[in-house]
Amino acid sequence: MRADDTPPASSIHVLVVDDNRDFAETLSALLGLAGYRTACVFDGDGAMAMVRLHRPLVVVTDLAMPGRNGFELLASVRAEPACSDAFMVAVSGWGGGSMTRSARAAGFDACFVKPCEHAELMKTVAHAVYKGSTLRERAGTASASGGTG
| pLDDT tens track for 56-77 | 999 999 999 988 999 999 999 9
Please give the share of the chain, as a percent, with pLDDT higher than 70. Answer: 80
3-state secondary structure (DSSP) of residue 69: coil
Instruction: Give the residue among 115, 98, 95 at the shortest CA–CA distance from 27.
Output: 115
138 has a pLDDT exceeding 80: no
Q: Is the whole model's pTM more than 0.75, yes or no?
A: yes
**What per-residue string of b and e applies to 79-117 under the rule 16 or more CB within 10 Å gives b?**
eeeebebbbbbbbbebeeeebbebbeebebbbbbbeebe
The mean pLDDT value for 121-142 works out to: 71
3-state secondary structure (DSSP) of residue 18: coil
| Structural domains for the chain | 10-144 (3.40.50.2300)
- Rounded to a whole number of angstroms, the distance between the first and last alpha carbons of the chain is 26
**Longest CA span, the chain:** 53
The separation between CA 17 and the C-alpha centre of its own chain, rounded to angstroms, equals 9
8 has a pLDDT exceeding 60: no
CA distances from 13 to 37, 38, 96, 114 (A): 5, 6, 29, 23
